[in-house]
Structure 1
Amino acid sequence: MLKKIINKENKLPFIILLAIVSFISFNVLNKNFFKNLRFDLTRSNVYTLSSGTKSILESINEPLDFKLFYTKQIGDINPVYQNYYDRVKETLEQYVLISNNKIKLKIFNPKPFSNEEDKAVEYGLQGVEILAGVYGYFGLIASNSTDDEEKIVFFQPDRSSFLEYDLSKIVTNLANPNRRIVGLYTDLPMLGTFNPLAKSQDAAAAPPWAVYNQMKEFFEVKRIHEKTRIISEDLELLMLVHPKKIPERLIYMIDQFVLKGGKLLVFIDPNSESESFSPEANQSNDDKNSSSLSELLDRWGVKLVEDKIVGDLLSARRVEIGTSDQPSVTDYLAWLDIKKDHMDSSHQVTSKVQRLTFATSGFLENSNKNKDIDFKRLVWSTTQSMKIDASEVIAPDPTTLLRNFVPENEELTLAAEVKGNFVSNFPNGPPDTGKKDEFDKNKHINKSIKPSTLIVVGDADMLYDEYWLRYEQSGEVVPIANNADFTVNLLEYLNGTEDLIGLRGKGSTSSPFTKVEKIQKEAEQKFRAKEQELLEKLNNYQSKLENIQKGTSEEEGKSVLTDKETKEIEKFREEMIQVRSELRKVQNALRKDIEKLDSTLKFFNIFFVPILLILISIILGVIERKKRHQKHIVRETN
């Protein structure tokens, strides 16, 4: 019966019908049974969620509501946003699946002047102007059962490499809504001061530093001091700022805290300028104003090079020197203004930081005393840097420093992250404090129970208001750098879960044409050299022509050019034409190399695959024909 239906006349329609049924069946199966099956063929596994994210999503205990707002007109105007929206949507759909539907995702299209737009505005999402007075939105609102809320006000494509980190951070914060705690130890007046001997009330009280106020907005800050008897079990992060005179018993407590998996953020300083602002500074007999915490950090793999300051010609800040009658402005090598290109753009902490200011900062090195760590620099100086003796900046003369500057062609590390396992700095057990049973020797740990993370910054002054805030005459306070954002980012990063800390920025979804870029750079180097040569010759010719026209030659005063001068001008013009011709050759060579590569790529993309398929089809056809011919011969023989 089937053979009658599939006869020669009905064969083609039947094949078409079978193909349509197969296509529909495949899509139905794919939608219902294989929707979580994905293949990520990108080089950096951009579309593959990390094991840390999966662990976070699988540990969610309560439902979370995610509302994604996207105005489609944004993508119509700029396809980059449409592509990024597709990626955000697909990533969130993966979050829903892996969380076993604990995350509830709703998608809104806030068209102009719609109820959805009113919702987006009410939630505080950032709008971008599509047309005059018409705004579009691309953001996320997430909440938990207790109405805690996290948001991304606008998804910026340039932060696409941190999409997974940002979303996982939101999940972590909502799944663990309790206010996070930071333990703070400092020998600087960060919390404000009161001096009863001051002559006026204004002078008696100094307010807390702006960085400290910003920290309190995000965290519960617990003070750690010399008399602290125990570090609380619920504390997972310690922040040490200029730990200059920290007692041994507290050093031991911090040592054990890190070995148990606690995180540490340390600001040390070879020359603390802000220490002089403390009321205790005048009462102290210690004339040194440096801190290194070498008793802990050196054995753990990181050290501050003592008594040395970073001087950086390209990052030097402009300062005013001289008297009020004769002021002048110069570069102060020891005060640094570090731009984004000297920060790790792949790290969550520094990816959005644009500018950092440092004051007489030290630099960090791997002490090579711990092989079980990963030492990673976060912020560094330019190659136009020099190591300056700390004694030269106690009463600094910026002009003398500038005059004596000799670059060492070395990038010096200003901030570093150290991850791994550590050993105790007290191998023989707790120190003898003179108090009986202050520490239980049986609970002493000599090696890390689990890996931990330290971040060390070589300057504590960067936290002081004067070095990153500008006070306007109107009374307004304007940040000139992202020092406070950087500090809060560090605390956010270290206060995350192990899974969250393990996440790194992923590669870009776009793959550059590295071969084309290489050709362009090589040709551009030649082009720039020729261009410079041309400019120099043109300037030379121009000055000579001006001398001739002004009559600065030997026969001055003549208004008519001599034959000799005319020949010289003609010679200049010929040489200019020749140089321009050489310049055009370089440009043409650049275009030819790129066009040749372009033609090759087009051939492989457009023609190679079809030609290959045709060849394979011909080969298979020949093989099949030979088989049929062989069968025919066998039948004839029989």
Structure 2
Amino acid sequence: MRSALRTGMTLSVILLLFLAFNLVWVVKLPDLRWDFSQQKNNSLSPAVMQLLATLDSPLDFYYFNASKPALKSNTLKQYGKRVEAKLKAFEQTARGRINLHIIDPAPFSEDAYKAGLYGLDDQQGFLGLIGTRDGHAAQRIESFRPDREHLLEYEISHLISQLLHPTPPVIGLLSGLPAGELIEPLVQELRGHFDLIELEASAHPIPARIKTLMLVHPRMLSEQTLYAVDQFVLGGGKLLMFIDPLSDMDPEPPPTASRLDGLLVAWGIHMQSDKILLDRTYASSEHEPGLLTLPREAMNESDVSTWKLESVTVSNSGALLPLDNSRTTFTPLLQSSKQSALLEPGAPDSEIVPQGEHHVIAARIEGAAYSAFPDGIDGRPPGLQKAAQIHVVVVADTDVLSEEISSSAPHGNSLFVLNTLDNLAAPSVLADIRPRVMTRSLQTLANLRETTAHAYQTRANDLERRLAQTEKEWQRLNPEATALGTEVVDTNTQLQALNKERLRLPMELHALRMEAYAPLHRLERKVKWLVIAPMPALLCLLAAGLFRWQRRHRPIPATALY
């Protein structure tokens, strides 16, 4: 009896100590971490170390992390600790060239006033960074967000690069569109961020001081200008190019044959110039399946070009395809849903037959490439024939730059352009810093969710269409209410049948959803048990082991010897 009581008291004390440790002491312990990941995702990358090695003057970092506001969630607080650990890693690696100041601004304090003055975001409590360098303007990160954790290393490095290189980079703008067709607010934004040089459509060669070029609708440019672009890319220039099978900003039909197609082939990609992309899932309206509003799910979240983006709107875009046996790397940046298809302009919506695959609207092209003009041009000697590494981003839409299309995503389309140009024009040491690929341990579950949603939508489309038609017909036949607010009783047989159909179809849709999602829900329940159960089971095993150990080592009573 006494032994059982002692065992119970021991287990109770262990449990209380365990709870006290988790509730009180864990939050006070330093965030000790060992990086056992295969790709070293939790350590500073070699490119970051190379950037920090170039520091020739000290930088001051002021990290504002408000710990008291009630609006700040526990997830955000934990992320704030990880940001602090990352900043300390930067400070330690910089060997005295970065001075980190950690500030916990109390409400209405001088620190909070200073953070607001520098433009830090206080919607959920301050969680931002201000960087300063003697003799230069301060730079800031308004807020760190957990959903951008894979870009954390790049965000901090980008701020360091802005402090080291305050002079805006030179960007060339070459457009084949009629004058004035480019969205003026976008051009003004480009002027605010870069040293923008607008080139004539007949420009050749590209001026030597331009290292990054934005090329719009090159199908209408001359062969000499396309040759200049070819040589610019092979010579190490960075290119952002917008092409389009059907541009709303240019009513003139493109030429049937163009050296632009050869240029794309030389870079390892292809776009069908006679077909546009229609998408039922991302269509902005049922009557305009070519006007697509691309959400975060349609973007490559691991690429800097989609940094801080929420949506991008495109119109009658094309689709990019990588060529077989190409030497270049094809990385999708924007893509359609699986409920999309390529059709000729003017084809009826009923011809949309999804093939169950994504279509790429924008892509990053990198790697070895050859010239599209191996014999030169106009009888002149051939120029550069190949390059070991090209840097090109191709967008299969020019209307993304128009004012009419951009107005539906005022901060999306222009931000995509600014992000991409900023990354292309960045110093090589910053451009080499890639977003971290966060491990997705539940990839099977994510794939099953997508497959289930696609299977359900395929079967539900017909029912939803019938329900919409029934509702429309019922609204047409149903008599209007009287002045007293009571409806006239109508015993019309057709109206009664429509009423039954209006009740039956939603029930069928609900039953179909339950049937389609049943395997997914079963798997989710199993995963929850696998995630939750191990810790209680481990504690029970430890308690049982301790109990058996105590019984085995319990002293034998003296009376048992006789």
TM-score (norm 1): 0.64
Q: Equivalent residue for 2:308?
A: 352
The AA in structure 2 aligned to 1:250 is T
| Aligned pairs for 1:130-141 within 5 A | 136-141=125-130
Q: Secondary structure at the match of 1:163?
A: helix
What RMSD over aligned residues (CA atoms) do the two structures have, in Å?
4.2
Alignment of 1:618-637 (within 5 A): none
Query: Which of residues 344, 348, 356 in structure 2 aligns to 1:409?
Result: 356
Q: CA deviation at 1:125?
A: 1.3
C-alpha distance in 1 between matches for 2:200 and 2:190: 18
State whether residues 136 and 166 of structure 2, in contact with CA within 8 Å, keep that contact through their aligned partners in structure 1.
Answer: no
The alpha carbon displacement at 1:38 in A equals 7.0
In the TM superposition, residue 208 of structure 1 has moved relative to its aligned partner by 5.6
- 1:516-595 equivalences under 5 Å are 593=526
**How far 1:68 moved relative to its partner?**
0.9
Q: Is the 8 A contact 2:219 2:254 kept in 1?
A: no
Question: Partner of 1:297 in structure 2?
Answer: 264
Match of 1:11 in 2: none
Aligned to 2:163: 174
Change (3 A) 1:367 1:164: same
Q: Find the counterpart in structure 1 of residue 483 from structure 2.
A: none
Q: Which residue of 1 aligns with 2:403?
A: 465
Deviation at 1:454, TM superposition (A): 0.9
Residues 167, 465 of structure 1: CA spacing in aligned structure 2 closer, same or farther, 3 A cutoff? same
What is residue 417 of structure 2 aligned with on the other side? 487
Unaligned runs of 5+ in 1: 1-34, 130-135, 194-206, 319-329, 393-399, 471-478, 533-551, 553-581, 617-638
CA separation of 1:598 and 1:415: change in aligned 2, threshold 3 A: closer
Q: Which residue of 2 aligns with 1:322?
A: none
1:427 maps to a residue whose letter is: P
Q: How does 1:117-156 map to 2 (within 5 A)?
A: 117-128=112-123, 136-156=125-145
Query: For 1:275, what is the secondary structure of its paired residue?
Result: coil
| CA distance in 1 between partners of 2:113 and 2:430 (Å) | 33
> Deviations along 1:499-526, whole A, 9 cap, x unmatched?
32333322459x76679x699979x99x
Could you list the per-position Cα deviations for residues 103-149 of structure 1 after superposition, in whole angstroms to 9, with x for gaps in the alignment?
Answer: 222222211122211211221211135xxxxxx31111112223222
Corresponding residue of 2:377: 431
User: Higher Cα Rg: structure 1 or 2?
Assistant: 1
Offset, 1:288: 4.6
Query: Tell me, what secondary structure is at the counterpart of 1:127?
Result: coil
Matched residue type, 2:203: T
- Given that residues 105 and 111 in structure 2 are in contact (C-alpha distance below 8 angstroms), is that contact kept between their aligned partners in structure 1? yes
| Change in CA separation of 1:176 and 1:612 when aligned onto 2, cut-off 3 Å | farther
Once the two structures are TM-superposed, the CA of residue 218 in structure 1 deviates from its matched residue by 0.6
2:59 paired residue number: 64
For residues 447 and 301 of structure 2, what CA distance do their matches in structure 1 show? 26
Deviation at 1:183, TM superposition (A): 1.0
Match of 1:94 among 89, 93, 102: 89
Q: Does the alignment pair 1:446 with 2:385?
A: yes
Residue number among 175, 178, 199 corresponding to 1:224 in the alignment: 199
Shift in CA distance, 154/56, structure 1 to aligned 2, threshold 3 Å = same
Distance 1:589 1:183, change over 3 A: closer
Question: Which residue of structure 2 lines up, in the alignment, with residue 503 of structure 1?
Answer: 433
Aligned AA (1:98): T
Letter in 2 for 1:115: E
SS in structure 2 at match of 1:101? coil
Q: What's the counterpart of residue 274 of structure 2?
A: 307
Q: Which residue of 1 aligns with 2:331?
A: 376
Residue 496 (structure 1) shift: 1.6
User: In structure 1, how many angstroms separate the alpha carbons of the residues matched to 2:159 and 2:542?
Assistant: 45
Q: Measured at CA, do residues 310 and 335 of structure 1 come closer, stay the same or move farther in structure 2, by a change above 3 Å?
A: same
Task: State how 1:248-327 maps to structure 2 within 5 Å.
Answer: 248-276=223-251, 288=255, 293-318=260-285
CA contact (8 A) 1:184 1:238 kept: yes
Is 1:602 paired with 2:557? no
Secondary structure, aligned partner of 2:126: strand
**In the superposition, relative to structure 1, how do residues 389 and 156 fare at CA in structure 2: closer, same or farther (>3 Å)?**
same
Question: What is the rounded CA distance, in whole Å, between the counterparts of 1:416 and 1:91 in structure 2?
Answer: 30
Of 294, 316, 327 in structure 2, the residue corresponding to residue 338 of structure 1 is 294
Secondary structure (helix, strand or coil) at the match of 1:492 reads helix
Mapped contact 2:141–2:159 kept (Cα < 8 A):
no
| Matching residue's letter, 1:421 | A
> 1:174–1:364: structure 2 CA closer, same or farther, 3 Å change rule?
same
Partners of 2:314 and 2:35 in 1: CA distance: 42
Say whether residues 1:386 and 2:355 are aligned partners: no
The Cα shift of 1:300 comes to 1.4
2:189 pairs with 194, 204, 214, which one? Answer: 214
Larger displacement relative to structure 2 (304-313 or 331-340): 331-340
Calculate the TM-score normalised by the size of structure 2.
0.72
Deviation at 1:460, TM superposition (A): 0.7
Question: Take 2:202 and 2:275, find their aligned partners in 1: how far apart are those partners?
Answer: 32
**What is the DSSP-based 3-state SS (H/G/I as helix, E as strand, rest coil) of the residue aligned with 2:241?**
strand
Question: 2: CA distance between counterparts of 1:349 and 1:289?
Answer: 32
8 Å Cα contact 1:263/1:494 also seen in 2: yes
Q: Give the partner amino acid of 1:401.
A: P
Larger CA deviation: 299-308 vs 404-413:
404-413
Deviations 1:281-322 (A, max 9, x none): 6xxxx775998821312121011112111111222233xxxx
| Mapped pair 1:40 → 2:35 | yes
Gaps of 5+ in 2: 1-29, 461-490, 492-514, 550-562
Q: Which residue, 50, 53, 67 being the options, matches 1:55? A: 50
After superposition, the Cα gap between the structure-2 partners of 1:182 and 1:613, relative to the gap in structure 1 and judged at 3 Å, is farther
Matched residue, 1:157: 146
Percent of aligned pairs with the same amino acid? 28
Spell out, residue by residue over 1:404-451, the C-alpha distance to the aligned partner (whole angstroms, 9 max, x if none): 3333333211111111121222334x42367xxxx7x6xx432215x2
- Tell me by how many angstroms 1:491 deviates: 0.7
Deviations 1:538-564 (A, max 9, x none): xxxxxxxxxxxxxx9xxxxxxxxxxxx
Pairwise CA distance, 1:595: 7.8
* 1:603 CA displacement: 6.3
Aligned residue for 1:293, secondary structure, equals helix
* Rounded Cα–Cα distance in structure 2 between residues aligned with 1:316 and 1:519: 23
Change beyond 3 A, Cα 1:243–1:137: same
Q: Aligned letter for 1:601?
A: P
Please report how far the alpha carbon of residue 177 of structure 1 lies from its aligned counterpart in structure 2 after TM superposition: 1.6
CA contact (8 A) 1:243 1:291 kept: no
Tell me, in whole angstroms, the C-alpha distance in 1 between the residues paired with 2:56 and 2:525.
61
Q: Are 1:268 and 1:292, in contact at CA under 8 Å, matched by a contact in 2? A: no
2:103 aligned with 1:108, yes or no?
A: yes
Alignment deviations for residues 444-488 of structure 1 (CA, whole Å, 9 cap, x no partner): 432215x23211011111111011216xxxxxxxx4561111111
Q: For 1:590 and 1:269, locate their aligned partners in 2 and report how far apart those are by CA, in whole Å.
A: 43
For residues 254 and 401 of structure 2, the distance between their equivalents in structure 1, rounded to whole angstroms, comes to 22
Structure 2 counterpart of 1:388, one-letter code: L
> For residues 609 and 39 of structure 1, do their structure 2 counterparts lie closer, same or farther at Cα, with a shift above 3 Å needed?
farther
For residue 19 of structure 1, what is the aligned residue in structure 2?
none
Residues 215, 488 of structure 1: 8 Å contact kept? yes
Against the structure 1 CA distance between its residues 145 and 383, is the aligned structure 2 distance closer, same or farther, given a 3 Å change threshold? same
Residues 60 and 362 of structure 1, relative CA distance in 2, 3 Å threshold: same
Contact 1:269 1:290 in 2 (8 A): no
Q: Contact 1:298/1:369 (CA < 8 Å) preserved in 2?
A: no
Counterpart-to-counterpart distance in 2, 1:588 and 1:287: 51
In the TM superposition, what whole-angstrom CA distance separates every residue of 1:534-593 from its partner, at most 9, and x where no partner exists?
xxxxxxxxxxxxxxxxxx9xxxxxxxxxxxxxxxxxxxxxxxxxxxxx9xx999988985
